Structure 1
Amino acid sequence: MPSFLQSCRSEFGTDDLYKILGLKKTATENEVKKGYHKVSLKVHPDRVSEEEKEASTLKFQILGKVYCILSNKEKRAVYDETGEVDDEDDTVPQDRDWTAYWRMLFRKLTTQDIVDFEKNYKGSKEELEDLKTAYVEFKGDMDEILSNVLCSTIDDEDRFAGIIKDWIKTKAVPDFKKFSKETKKSKENRKRKFEQEAAEAEEMKAELGLGEDTSLQAIIQSRQQSRQQHMASFFDDLEAKYAKPKKTKAAAATGKKKGKK
């Protein structure tokens, strides 16, 4: 049976627990929790097809163990100093229900949570940082920008374009051709696409009988089951940024065997 760190390498391509969660070694306790939440959203067994469920479950379990180690001050200190983890450590019980543990840590989001978040996010410093990151990462592709900046819709396109043009003038960002030379036809196609997605979302909501107080999780699962992964990814990113942890203490269990980094 492979050691825990071997399993990390096999499933995530690295045995660096911080890299698995997309973090630096200096990450705070809250950043560790957010990192775990964000990555686990991508491999949560309830968010993939039946064909992917087995592989997803294994990754999900490994992530849970990674979090248990990095969220425990003593175990994290040992890992930081030695690069080792105890395969049978009491912070990573083998028989734990990781789905129940995940839900214990993170509450569900409601439609009102989204409304409140959007109100504070739009026009904020955080939105500007996300916009700049998306612009550079996708080399000015407005389709990708609108799909990756939280809460954005086709109605934000002109606002974003104005901000980006100002950045280009001051040389805060490069002048990518995909942005500055975009054709009128491309813009029209984007508008049609967003209008279609908005209509589909409303239809799905009506079909499922979802009201204003419906949990966000139900919407995410429904969209993923219908394989509309792009919109689901939007909700995943929003939940990862916005979800607030419940105040709770994790249970402990047993162990000794060590694996080396």
Structure 2
Amino acid sequence: MGLLERCDEFFKTSNLYEVLGINKEATEAEIRRGYYKVSLTVHPDRAPEDPLATEKFQVLGKLYAVLSDKEQREVYDEQGVVDEESDVLSQDRSWEDYWRLLFPKITMQDILEFEKKYKGTDEEREDLLKLYVKYKGDMDAITVSALCCSQENEPRLCGIIQDAIKNGEVEAFPAFTKENDKKKRARRKRADRERQEAEEMQKEMGLGDEDDSLVMMLQQRQKSREQSFNSLLSDLEAKYAKPSGKSQKSKRGKK
């Protein structure tokens, strides 16, 4: 059974882009991000109850290998087929090792270093305004999805948005400009509660500030959030993962 048939069997669509939840015009970064998100749902370590998890994971690895290879992607986009005999798919590869190569483990030190470099940059500002537009000024959704966002940072982020509104860069959504104090207080209470839960979990697990296991604690904490895939860890791993590199040329003329 070929890759497209396997996708249809496991993910109810033979469209490679639809499997990853992206469109045909997706950038390389968006493809990698889509692969990361979907692969997490079927990773054998994260879905031990699914007897087909390993097979699904392998299929996703092959799918990503096709879409991340320029020639293979062109063939698929133009003809809607996949060259099953290409080097990209025929080579003997450990798809778990391939996944880990793309998405190396994120440690607490990585998070802290990223936070220092990210805050106050044009990139942070651009990401924030995209979220503002996406959620039409809903600060609850924005603060959940924004990278490196804490309650202490909210006034600064609001200032960035207010300046952008003043400069005509973004629309003045009522959800932002007319947000009532009750909603703001509820958000502060929620942030305080999450912080307390994290501190209690840290004590229960006997973790130190530099312990890599803090990452696991953060992941556990993110499970309660509506936008779980937009958590700091998943965004970091998907956005700043190592590129797959140049693959060998596909044997398009092979018969």
TM-score tier, shorter chain, comes to: 0.7 to 0.9
Instruction: Show the 5 A alignment for 1:125-136.
Output: 125-136=122-133
Query: Is 1:41–1:236's contact at 8 Å kept on the other side of the alignment?
Result: no
Q: Which residue of 1 aligns with 2:142?
A: 145
Q: How far, CA to CA, are the matches of 2:183 and 2:154 in structure 1?
A: 13
Q: How far, CA to CA, are the matches of 1:42 and 1:131 in structure 2?
A: 27
Q: How far, CA to CA, are the matches of 1:174 and 1:97 in structure 2?
A: 48
| 1:157 to 1:25, Cα distance in 2 relative to 1, 3 A | closer
Q: Does 1:44 align with 2:43?
A: yes
Report deviation, 1:221: 5.5
One-letter code aligned to 2:195: A
Q: Does 1:62 align with 2:59?
A: yes
Structure with more contact order per residue of length (Cα contacts < 8 Å, sep ≥ 6): 1
Query: Is 2:198–2:217's contact at 8 Å kept on the other side of the alignment?
Result: no
Query: Is 1:42–1:236's contact at 8 Å kept on the other side of the alignment?
Result: no
TM-score when normalising by structure 1:
0.75
2:121 aligned to which of 106, 119, 124: 124
One-letter code aligned to 1:200: E
Q: More deviation in 88-97 or 108-117?
A: 88-97
User: What is the percentage of aligned positions where both structures have the same residue?
Assistant: 48
Q: Which residue of 1 aligns with 2:22?
A: 22
Query: Is 2:84–2:90's contact at 8 Å kept on the other side of the alignment?
Result: no
Q: How far, CA to CA, are the matches of 2:142 and 2:12 in structure 1?
A: 27
TM-score when normalising by structure 2:
0.77
Q: Which residue of 1 aligns with 2:76?
A: 79
Q: Which residue of 2 aligns with 1:165?
A: 162
Report deviation, 1:150: 0.3
Deviations 1:191-242 (A, max 9, x none): 0001111111222222223331315663466447xx4355853121222223
| 1:31 to 1:192, Cα distance in 2 relative to 1, 3 A | closer
| 1:56 to 1:166, Cα distance in 2 relative to 1, 3 A | farther
Report deviation, 1:249: 8.4
| 1:36 to 1:74, Cα distance in 2 relative to 1, 3 A | same
Report deviation, 1:245: 5.8
Q: How far, CA to CA, are the matches of 1:26 and 1:136 in structure 2?
A: 20
One-letter code aligned to 2:65: C
Report deviation, 1:8: 3.3
| 1:239 to 1:104, Cα distance in 2 relative to 1, 3 A | closer
| 1:109 to 1:168, Cα distance in 2 relative to 1, 3 A | same
Query: Is 2:22–2:31's contact at 8 Å kept on the other side of the alignment?
Result: no
Alignment length, in residue pairs? 247
Query: Is 1:108–1:216's contact at 8 Å kept on the other side of the alignment?
Result: no
| 1:142 to 1:84, Cα distance in 2 relative to 1, 3 A | same
Q: Which residue of 2 aligns with 1:214?
A: 212
Q: How far, CA to CA, are the matches of 2:114 and 2:180 in structure 1?
A: 33
Q: How far, CA to CA, are the matches of 1:220 and 1:248 in structure 2?
A: 34
Report deviation, 1:188: 0.4
Q: Which residue of 1 aligns with 2:106?
A: 109
Q: How far, CA to CA, are the matches of 1:45 and 1:95 in structure 2?
A: 19
Query: Is 1:109–1:217's contact at 8 Å kept on the other side of the alignment?
Result: yes
Q: How far, CA to CA, are the matches of 2:62 and 2:244 in structure 1?
A: 19
Q: How far, CA to CA, are the matches of 2:205 and 2:246 in structure 1?
A: 33
Q: How far, CA to CA, are the matches of 1:123 and 1:14 in structure 2?
A: 42
Report deviation, 1:91: 3.1
